[in-house]
C-alpha cells in the first residue's frame, strides 16, 4: 500500500495511471468512443486512491469534492463559460464567417432545442463530464495544493489539455477536421486557461460540481453554436467553439483577475 506518498507523489501516480489507461485504450482492439476516453480520469483517480489507501476511508472520497454541492456557485459556473463562446459566435455571424440560423431539419423545433440544451447538460454532467472532472478537478487538484496558487491552476489546466491530445491526434473521434499544426497550440492554450478557471472554482468552493457545470456548459454551448452556424468558414474553429482566439482572450483576462483580485483559497492566504 502506497499510503506514505506526498501529495505531489500522489499526483504523479495518478498521471502515470492515466497514461497507462490511455495507452491501453489506444492499442487494444476494442470499440472506441470519446465517452470511453473521458472516463479515464475517474477510473485513474479510483485506482490511485486504492493504491494509496484513500479509497478505504470516507475522508479519501471527500477529496474528490463530490460530497459538497456548492449551490451558490453553480450560477456563475453556468454563465461564465457561455460568455466567450457566445461572443465568439457573434463575431463569426457579424463578420460573415458563418450565417446565423437553424438548419432546415430543426425549423419549428425551437422549444425542443431549448429544452434539449438543458437535458443534454444534465445527462453529460452526470456521466462523461463527471468522469473527467472527478479526476482532474477532484483528485488531481486536491494534490496540487502545495504549489503556488497560479502554478496549481495552470498545471491542472495544462495536463488536462495534454490528456486530450492522443484522442485528437491518434483517432478520428475528436477535432479530426482541423489542421493540427495550427489548432493544437490554440487548443492547449485555451484548455490550460479554461482549466485554470475550473480549478479555481474547485479551490474556492471545495466542490467539484461547479467545475462540472462549467465544463458541461462549455461543451454543450460549443455544439449548439456549431448547430446555429450555417456555411461556416474554415477559420471558425480558430475563432470560437471548443478553442480559439475569443476563448483565449476571455480566459486570459479572467486568469489575471483571479490571481490579482480573486478570493484565494485558505492554503494560499
- Measured torsion, CA atoms of residues 99, 104, 110, 115, in degrees rounded to the nearest 10: -100
Q: What is the per-residue pLDDT across 197-247, written as a single tens digit (0 to 9) for each?
A: 999 999 999 999 999 999 999 999 999 999 999 999 999 999 999 999 999
Q: Which residue has the cell 472527478?
A: 134
How far is it, in rounded angstroms, from Cα 3 to Cα 158?
Answer: 27
Q: What is the mean pLDDT of residues 61-86?
A: 95
Instruction: Please report which confidence band the pLDDT of residue 266 belongs to, taking 50, 70 and 90 as the band edges.
Output: low
Tell me, letter by letter, the H, E, C secondary structure of 47-75: HHHHHHCHHHCHHHHHCCCCCCCCHHHHH
Alpha carbon distance, N-terminus to C-terminus of the chain: 33
Q: How far is CA 139 from the centre of its chain?
A: 14
User: Whole-angstrom Cα distance, residue 185 to residue 175?
Assistant: 13
Residue entry with cell 456549431: 226
Residues 6+ apart with CB under 8 A from 35: 127, 128, 131
Beta strands in 64-214 (DSSP E): 99-100
Adjacent-strand bridge partners of 174: none
Question: In this model, does residue 187 exceed pLDDT 70?
Answer: yes
Q: What is the pLDDT of residues 117-176, one digit of tens each?
A: 999 999 999 999 999 999 999 999 999 988 888 999 999 999 999 999 999 999 999 998
Amino acid at each position: 500500500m502506497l499510503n506514505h506518498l506526498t501529495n505531489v507523489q500522489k499526483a504523479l501516480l495518478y498521471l502515470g495511471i492515466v497514461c497507462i489507461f490511455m495507452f491501453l485504450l489506444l492499442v487494444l482492439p476494442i470499440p472506441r468512443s470519446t465517452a470511453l476516453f473521458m472516463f479515464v480520469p475517474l477510473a485513474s483517480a479510483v485506482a490511485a486512491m486504492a493504491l494509496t489507501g484513500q479509497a478505504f476511508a470516507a475522508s479519501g472520497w471527500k477529496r474528490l469534492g463530490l460530497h459538497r454541492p456548492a449551490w451558490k456557485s453553480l450560477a456563475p459556473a453556468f454563465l461564465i463559460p457561455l460568455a466567450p463562446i457566445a461572443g465568439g459566435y457573434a463575431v463569426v455571424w457579424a463578420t460573415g464567417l458563418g450565417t446565423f440560423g437553424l438548419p432546415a431539419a430543426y425549423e419549428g423545433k425551437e422549444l425542443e432545442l431549448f429544452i434539449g440544451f438543458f437535458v443534454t447538460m444534465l445527462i453529460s454532467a452526470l456521466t462523461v463530464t463527471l468522469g473527467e472532472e472527478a479526476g482532474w478537478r477532484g483528485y488531481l487538484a486536491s494534490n496540487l495544493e502545495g504549489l503556488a496558487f497560479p502554478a496549481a491552476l495552470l498545471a491542472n489546466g495544462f495536463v488536462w489539455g495534454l490528456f486530450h491530445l492522443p484522442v485528437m491526434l491518434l483517432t478520428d473521434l475528436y477535432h479530426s477536421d482541423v489542421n493540427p499544426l495550427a489548432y493544437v497550440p490554440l487548443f492547449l492554450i485555451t484548455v490550460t486557461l479554461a482549466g485554470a478557471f475550473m480549478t479555481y472554482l474547485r479551490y474556492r468552493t471545495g466542490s467539484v460540481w461547479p467545475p462540472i457545470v462549467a465544463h458541461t456548459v462549455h461543451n454543450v454551448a460549443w455544439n449548439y453554436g456549431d448547430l446555429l452556424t450555417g456555411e461556416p468558414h474554415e477559420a471558425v474553429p480558430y475563432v470560437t467553439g471548443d478553442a480559439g482566439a475569443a476563448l483565449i482572450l476571455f480566459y486570459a483576462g479572467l486568469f489575471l483577475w483571479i490571481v490579482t483580485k480573486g478570493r484565494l483559497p485558505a492554503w494560499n492566504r
